[in-house]
Structure 1
C-alpha cells in the first residue's frame, strides 16, 4: 500500500521537521512509530464538560455528575453568542473530538473551530456534520457509534487531526444553552439542550513548525487522506516479509507454564492463538500471557483481556486486536526488544488448557534511544461495592513511573444491577499533576459511545464495545479504546483512575487492562493479580450475589433470585438515608392488587425455623401477604408510613427446605391514597 511504504521511509524525517495533516496521518497508521517515544515531543491534554464542582479528592463534589454544558466562557461577536469549549495556545493539534447531546434541540447548534487568531472558522456547521458526517472527512475517522443505536443517542467521534501553528479555539453556538447556570439540566424545557464534549489535543514546543489545517491542506493531501481511510477500514495488517515465526502451541496442565525464547534483537509484530478447554470462559481468564523484553517483565495479562474480549469468545475488530467467534485471537501491537524476549503462557486455572494455532511473528528492529518496551497492567476488582455520588470510588487502571506513552485500555465487567454501571469519569494525572489534565464525562463517553447504550460496535479502528448486555441489567460488558494520535506521553509518571459510579449501589466484577510503552527502566507499580486471574468468572448474577443462606442462616434480599414479576417491575435498590443491611433492598415497583412476584433462594439445611423479616416503609408502600414454599408466613403486612423507615417483623415457625425455596409476595391492598399501583421492599430474611 502507498501509506505502508511511505511510513517507514518518510515519517521520521517529517516528524522531526514539520507537523502537518500529512505527518499526523502517517503517524496514525505507523505501528512502528507508536513503539518509539514521540519526536517532536508533545503533551496531550483534554478539554471537556466535566462537572466543575470536582475540585479535589478531599473535597465535596469529587464525584459530581453534572458533566454537561460547562464551558470556559461566553463570547459575543457579530451578533453571535458562542460558548468556548477549548482555547489552547499552539503549536498543537486536535487529535480526538467526541460529543453527544440531550434535549429537544440537541445537536442543532453550530460548532466552529478557529485557528491562528483568524476570525473565520476553518470548520463550521452542525456538530454531527463535523464530527461524524462528511464535512471534514469520512468514516472511520468521522463516525457515530453504535450504528444500531438511534442517532440521537450515539457518540460522535472525530479522529481526523486538526493541526494549528499558533492557537486553536472551539466554540458552540446554541439558543438552547443557558449561560447563567452551567451544568443545569433543562432539557425538559422546549428548545433547550445539554452539551457533552471531550477534546484531546497535543501541544508542541514553540520551536516546532506546524502547518495549520485549512481547505488548501485538505485538497493538497486528498490522496493520502483517502489512502488512510482505506487502510484503517481494511486493518492494515500486512506483515514484514522478512519476519520469523515462533510457534507457541502448548498443552498446559493446571499450574503449568511454558516459555518460548528469542535471543536476538527484533520486534513482535503479530501474536495469534486459540484456547481450547472444557470451560472456555474460565480458560480465557485463567490462562495468562507474560512477556519479558531484555529481562524486563512488562506484560502480564489474561489472554482474553489482552485480545480485547475478556472471558467470552466474541467478535471484535480494532486496529490493534481482533478476535472471531471461532476462537482465533490476533494482536498487531509492535513490541521491540534490543537483545532478547521471552513469551510465557501459564495456566492458573484448575483444568487442562490447549493453546493451538499459536505463533509470534518476529521482525527486524534497529534499537535506538527512542525505542520503548510494550507493557500491560491488569487486575480485577472482584465483587467491589459502589454506588452513585459519594458511594462512587476511584479505581486504578495504571500507575507507572518512568518515561513512556499511554496507548489504550479495555474494560471487562459483570454488572449485577438493573441500572447503568458506568457513570464515572476518567481522571489521568501526568508527571505528578495535582489535578488531572484528563477529566471526562462518563465511562461510555471515554469509550466513544454515549447514553449507556448496550448496542455493540466492533469495526472501528480505535473504539469498540464487543458486548454490552450488562449495561442496564445483570450481565457482561466489554469496552475498548485504542489510542492513536491521542496517546498520552509522560516523562516521569502517569496515574490513570476511573470512577466506578453505578446508578445502583451494588457489587460488580470490574477488570481493566491498560496498554503502554516505556523506555527501559520504567516501572509498573501495580502488582500482578494472581488471585483475580484464578477467580471463577461470573456468568450469572448469582455468581456474585449467591442466593444461599449465609452462616447466620439469613439471606440479603439483593441475593434473592428473581423468578417472575407479572405486574410492575423490580430492581435491587440502594437508599440514600436508610441503614439497609448490605446497602441494598429488593424493590417491587408499581405492584398491582392480586398479583404475585416470585423469588428464590437455596438452603443447605432443612427443618422448622423462626423467620424474621426486615422491610422498609414509605408513603407509597402497600399491604402484602408473603408466602414461603406455598405457605403464608406474613399476612396483611402493612408497610405504609408517612416517613421512610425500617420495619422488623417476626413470623411464626416456618418450614425451611433443603435446596430450593420459593418466596412469593402478593399485594392485597394499595397504599393509602394510591389507586392502581403501590410499592413493596424487603431488606433481609433471617431463619433462627
Structure 2
C-alpha cells in the first residue's frame, strides 16, 4: 500500500499513481481522468440536505420561496439556510464510508463569529473547530482573492476547500452563529462513497489567537498526540509597530523535542516562501502573491483613520513537503522585528492562526476557543 501522503494528495499533486485500485480510483488528474471508478458521487446542499440520490431540488419551502412563488417546486426554492443568533446548524450528517472531496460556501454575517466544526465517525469532540473566515484564509473579515491548490476564495466571497477528508463510518459538519444577528449560508458539500484504506488518516484543523503575543511567541499548536503529518498554516497578522515585522523563526518540535526543535525556519517571509520583506524593489511596497502552495494574499494598509494598523493574511501548504510526526507535534513562531542599532525587537502583535494536519484517531482534546469578545476583530 502506498504511503498516506500519496493517497490523500494525489488529486492535488496531479501525478499518475502506480496503482489505480487504491481509494477505489479517486486519484484522478489530467493524466488519468478518463478512468472509471465504482465510487458513488453524492452532494449535500440546502436543495438536498441528505445527499440521497434523486432527492435534490424537491423543496417546496425555503429561503427562495418568495421569488419562486410563481414557478414552484424545482425552481431554486431552497438555495440557502438561515441561522439565527446563537444557533448551531447541522450542514451535513452522513452515515457511510468515503471521502469529502470539495466544500463550497458563502456565509453572510461575521466570519470570525461563525464557527465551523467537523466530527469524524461519531466522535464527541470535533476534529475541526475554526472560525469559518479563518479556515478559508479570510481572518480579517474582508474578502481577498486566494488561489491555491487546497483553498480558493473567489469573487463574491466564495469559499472553497479541496482538502480530501476521509471518513469510515460517519461525518457531521455544523456551523454556529455566535453573533447577535441572523446570517444566511449558501453551501455545497461534494463527497464520494467508497472504501477507505487502512492507513488513511483524518483531517484536522485548529484555531488559536495571541492578542497580543506574550514573550514575542505565538504558539500555533501544542499537544498534538499521535501519528500523522502536518499540511498547512494560515496566519492573520496585525503589526503593532511601524517597522518590518517578519524576522521571527517558525519552529517545529516533534516526537519528544524539548528545548530545541527539529525544524527551525530562517524568517517569517521565508517560511511563506517569500524573501526580503515581501518587498517589490521598484515600488518599495509589499507585494501580494497567491500561488499553489504559499502566499501573502491579503494586505490591509492603514487608512489614517479607523484602520490604523497594517494587517496581513498569509498561507503555507505543506503538500509537496508534509511534516511527518510519529508521536507528537508543537509549533511556534517568533514575533520579531527591528529596533535601533540593528537589533531585534520582540514585538507584541495580534496574531491568529489556523493549522491543518492529518492524523490517526484518537486526537488530543483541543483548547477552548477564545470567548466571543476575544475572537472579535477590532
Q: Provide TM-score, normalisation by structure 1.
A: 0.41
Q: 1:376, CA displacement in angstroms?
A: 0.6
Counterparts of 1:572-583 in structure 2, within 5 Å, are: none
Q: Structure 2 matches for 1:148-547, cutoff 5 A?
A: 242-247=40-45, 249-259=80-90, 260-277=92-109, 283-296=110-123, 297-310=126-139, 311-356=141-186, 358-384=187-213, 392-434=216-258, 435-453=260-278, 454-458=286-290, 460-469=291-300, 474-503=309-338, 507-523=348-364, 525-531=365-371, 535-538=375-378
Residue 505 to residue 487, structure 1, CA distance change in 2 (3 Å)? closer
Q: Decide whether the 8 Å contact of 2:231 with 2:356 is kept in 1.
A: yes
Distance 1:383-1:429 versus aligned 2 partners, 3 A rule: closer
Tell me, in whole angstroms, the C-alpha distance in 2 between the residues paired with 1:437 and 1:505.
Answer: 23
In our comparison, the structure showing a higher alpha carbon Rg is 1
Distance 2:337 2:113 in 1: 27
Q: Tell me how far 1:267 sits from its aligned partner.
A: 1.2
Change in 2 beyond 3 A, CA 1:350/1:382: farther
Contact 1:397 1:512 in 2 (8 A): no
**1:121-136 correspondence runs (5 A):** none
- Structure with the bigger percentage of helix: 1
Q: Secondary structure at the match of 2:292?
A: coil
Listed as ranges, the matches of 1:652-663 within 5 Å are: none
Note if contact 2:210-2:218 (Cα within 8 Å) is conserved in structure 1.
Answer: no
CA distance in 1, matches of 2:247, 2:371: 27
Decide whether aligned partners of structure 1 residues 432 and 254 sit closer, same or farther in structure 2, where only a CA change above 3 A counts: same
The 2-side partners of 1:31 and 1:295 are apart by 33
Report how far residue 515 of structure 1 moved.
0.1
RMSD: 3.2
**Residue pair 1:419, 1:502 contacting (<8 A) in 2 also:** yes
Counterpart Cα distance in 1 of 2:152 and 2:359: 24
Deviation at 1:407, TM superposition (A): 0.7
Name the CA shift for 1:292/1:352 in 2 (closer, same or farther; >3 Å). Answer: same
- Listed as ranges, the gaps of 5+ residues in structure 1 are 1-11, 17-21, 34-226, 278-282, 386-390, 539-688
Q: Distance in 1 between matches of 2:10 and 2:87?
A: 43
Contact 2:119 2:128 in 1 (8 A): yes
* Equivalent-residue separation in structure 2 for 1:294 and 1:26 (angstroms): 24
> Higher relative contact order at CA 8 Å, sep ≥6: structure 1 or structure 2?
2
Quote the Cα distance in structure 1 between the aligned partners of 2:167 and 2:16: 12
Instruction: Give the superposition deviation at 1:488.
Output: 1.1
Aligned residue-pair number? 306
In the TM superposition, what is the alpha-carbon distance from 1:476 to its structure 2 partner? 1.5
The change in CA–CA distance for 1:532 and 1:517 in structure 2 (over 3 A counts) is: farther
Relative to structure 1, is the Cα distance of residues 399 and 450 closer, same or farther in structure 2, using a 3 angstrom cutoff?
farther
Decide whether the 8 Å contact of 1:415 with 1:470 is kept in 2: no
Spell out, residue by residue over 1:441-485, the C-alpha distance to the aligned partner (whole angstroms, 9 max, x if none): 111110111122221001x110011113469x8222011001112
Report the equivalent of 2:13: 29
Shift of 1:533: 7.4
1:249-276 per-position Cα deviation (integer Å, ceiling 9, x unaligned)? 4311221110131111121111111122
SS of residue matched to 1:245 = strand
Cα distance in 2 between the residues matched to 1:493 and 1:298:
16
Are residues 383 and 418 of structure 1, via their aligned partners in 2, closer, same or farther at CA, if it must alter by over 3 Å?
A: same
Q: Post-superposition shift, 1:505?
A: 5.8
